[in-house]
Amino acid sequence: MARKLVSRRTIVKTGLLGIGACAAASMTGLTGIFGTEAQAKGKFKINRTPEEWKKRLGGARYRILRREGTERPYSSPLNNEKRKGVYACAGCNLGLYKSDTKYDSGTGWPSFWAPIKGRVGTSVDYKIGYRRTEVHCGRCGGHQGHIFSDGPKPTGERHCINGLALRFIPA
């Protein structure tokens, strides 16, 4: 029985197509049907129906907070926010990050090296083909972004957060 050999080029093309499809689904929020909204039901202090969240948040914020979407890099006005204050969840107004933990990571999203203690939760996310740590609001479960291990001292963490997932409250 003859075996058909698969070329290296075919394997690479297939892999790249798969990664591209996962990334596109993540950017459009299509992956959220299995994400935060499904996980959040009954697990957080604030629970609303999808219709209630859509009405409260509007389309863009709903896609990010409830469907785990991502905004375009460099699109958030919060990237340039320099005042003292607190960055709160846009879904429930829980303060998640203090301004003194914010820094410019050069990635195009607001970045922080630590959250306010006890205010965020995490889960494992494989939506774009590899393991990432998703960060969500500890009160309403709203998707905020992801945590990476390339941040500054003292934590070494980079909380890469969607600006639309946050509201800035000046001190």
Q: Which sequence positions are flagged as catalytic?
A: 160
Q: Using CA atoms, how far apart are residues 158 and 148, in angstroms rounded to an integer?
A: 5
Cβ neighbours around 139 below 10 Å, total: 18
Write out the H or E segment, with its range, that includes residue 95: strand 95-98
C-beta atoms surrounding 60 within 10 Å:
13
Residue 164 has which token pair?
Answer: 């639309």
Among 94, 100, 124, residue whose Cα is nearest residue 112: 100
The 10 Å Cβ neighbour count of residue 163 is: 22
Q: What's the CA gap between 42 and 44, in Å, rounded?
A: 6
Query: Residue 158 corresponds to which amino acid?
Result: R
CB atoms within 10 A of CB 47: 13
